């Protein structure tokens, strides 16, 4: 009895619909998402982490900014 018993594999039913993928909003990626160039001026679009210093941008969430390097979180002010 040293042989292992194989479990039967479950195959999907034929003709069963495949789950649909949700289409999400695609954001700009790369350097264009971090800087805005107007003429000869370059402005940063995201804040810089207060703990890590220049070069570490904070991620832009719906209600907060977070640093992926150290985990620092700064909440956005709610406008009434």
Please check whether residue 70 lies inside any domain of the structure: yes
Please check whether residue 58 lies inside any domain of the structure: yes
Please check whether residue 35 lies inside any domain of the structure: no
Integer Cα distance of 51 and 68 in angstroms: 12
Question: What domain range is 53 assigned to?
Answer: 47-80
User: Any idea which residue has 């805005």 for tokens?
Assistant: 36
Please check whether residue 65 lies inside any domain of the structure: yes
> Is a pLDDT exceeding 60 seen at residue 27?
yes
pLDDT score of 52:
95
Please compute Rg for the chain using Cα positions. 24
How many domains does one find in the chain? 1
User: Any idea which residue has 């479990």 for tokens?
Assistant: 7
- Average model confidence (pLDDT) across the chain: 83
Please check whether residue 31 lies inside any domain of the structure: no
Q: Residue 12: CA atoms inside 13 Å, Cβ hemisphere, count?
A: 6
pLDDT tens digits for range 41-72: 999 888 999 999 988 989 999 999 999 999 99
DSSP for residue 57:
B
**pLDDT-based confidence at residue 25 (cuts at 50, 70, 90):** confident
67 C-beta neighbours (distance < 10 Å), count: 19
pLDDT score of 12:
66
């Amino acid at each position: 009895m040293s042989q292992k018993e194989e479990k039967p594999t479950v195959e999907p039913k034929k003709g069963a619909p495949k789950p649909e993928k949700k289409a999400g909003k695609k954001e700009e990626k790369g350097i264009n998402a971090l800087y805005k160039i107007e003429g000869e001026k370059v402005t940063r679009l995201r804040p810089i982490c207060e703990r890590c210093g220049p070069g570490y941008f904070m991620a832009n969430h719906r209600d907060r900014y977070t640093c992926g390097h150290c985990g620092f979180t700064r909440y956005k002010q709610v406008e009434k």
